[in-house]
Structure 1
Amino acid sequence: MSGKSDLLLMANVGPAIVGYLARLDITEPDQLVGRDPFEMFEQLCALDGRAHDPCLLDTFMSVVDQADGGPPRPWWEFTAERKRRQGQS
């Protein structure tokens, strides 16, 4: 398989996430390696002219972590790290 099908093999990725990633010109898991999920999220929000749900950022953190060799983990396991990095409690 290639392209979107490969993205769908990643944990936490369904058709909606594939669509968001495609808007960022990401169509294959290898394109996520070394990416900054915070920058990806900000870019998507700018493209859409609105703030997306922060859970989407957690999902971006999850897929980048997987692409960088981390184990598949539920997106919500990244919420505390996101909040910490954003200076939230």
Structure 2
Amino acid sequence: MKARTPAEAIKLEDLPNIGPSIADDLRELGIHTLAELAQRDPLRTYLALGDPMGPRHDPCVLYTLLAAQHFLTCGEALRWWAFTEAGKDLLGSRQVIGQAPPVRVA
């Protein structure tokens, strides 16, 4: 069962929107804990996933990472598609990694 609050989450798969496949890909990047994921920039993580997932992986993965970070930082569980616009903005503008603007939620 998925966590309803960050305090209930123990492993990556406990997070809303994070399934076994994405969790495995994150582990390949060296992200094994919720704290490690919370500290990572979602855009940088998405771009780094080009190695395990291939260079043309689905942008929905970025939206999922934005949703996971949102959940970990404020406790609000939103579906990944609520971050589509913010993800498209990040991908379209190619912001300096680590200096992305605040996420707007649809």
Band of TM-score, shorter chain: 0.7 to 0.9
Superposition TM-score, scaled by structure 2 size: 0.69
Q: Count residues with an aligned counterpart.
A: 84
For 1:40-79, what aligned pairs fall within 5 Å after superposition?
Answer: 40-79=45-84
Of 7, 11, 20, the match for 2:12: 7
Query: Do residues 82 (structure 1) and 87 (structure 2) align?
Result: yes
In the TM superposition, residue 31 of structure 1 has moved relative to its aligned partner by 0.9
For 2:11, the aligned partner's letter is: D
Structure 2: how far apart are the matches of 1:26 and 1:34? 10
Segments of 5+ residues of structure 1 without an aligned counterpart are none
Are the equivalent residues in 2 in contact too, given 1:34–1:68 (CA < 8 A)? no
After superposition, the C-alpha distances for 1:56-82 in whole angstroms (9 at most, x for unaligned) are: 111111112222234111011110111
Query: Do residues 18 (structure 1) and 29 (structure 2) align?
Result: no
Percent identity of equivalent pairs = 32
Aligned CA RMSD, in angstroms, stands at: 1.9
Higher helix share: 1
In the TM superposition, residue 16 of structure 1 has moved relative to its aligned partner by 0.6
